[in-house]
């Protein structure tokens, strides 16, 4: 690995961003999905109007080729959204660092 001062300013910024992101707990790979369902009560608003169905949040994750839906309680929603967002930021920063290393390899620098 190159000494930190020999990296470009952009690469140093990405490494710093990664350290900051990984310094916080919680990373989740997956997509948040809002599902709307009928509750089954005949007198409920959801039985009369499909637009009034009850909404609940799920995390859709793929593991070993199988999709899994995990229910997210309302009091966990903000936390889980933060974890999913943090994972996306880490993935994007890693992608940018990979591109920078590829350019260095192709130009045979460092």
Domain count, the chain: 1
Q: Nearest 5°: phi and psi at 60?
A: -100, 120
pLDDT 10s digit of each residue in the chain, 110 long?
A: 556 667 888 888 999 999 999 999 999 999 999 999 888 888 888 888 888 899 999 999 998 999 999 999 999 999 999 999 999 999 999 999 999 888 888 887 65
**21 in Cβ contact with 86 (< 8 Å):** yes
* CA 44 – CA 54 distance, rounded (Å): 10
* pTM metric for this prediction: 0.77
Range of the domain at 17: 4-107
């Amino acid at each position: 690995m190159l000494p930190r001062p020999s990296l470009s300013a952009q690469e140093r910024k990405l490494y710093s961003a990664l350290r900051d992101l990984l310094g916080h707990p919680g990373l989740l790979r997956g997509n948040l999905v809002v599902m709307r369902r009928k509750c089954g009560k005949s007198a409920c608003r959801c039985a009369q109007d499909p637009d009034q169905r009850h909404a609940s949040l799920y995390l859709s994750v793929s593991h070993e080729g199988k999709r899994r839906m995990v229910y997210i309680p309302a009091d966990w929603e903000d936390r889980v959204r933060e974890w999913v967002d943090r994972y996306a930021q880490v993935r994007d920063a890693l992608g940018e660092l990979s591109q920078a290393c590829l350019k260095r390899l192709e130009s045979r620098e460092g």
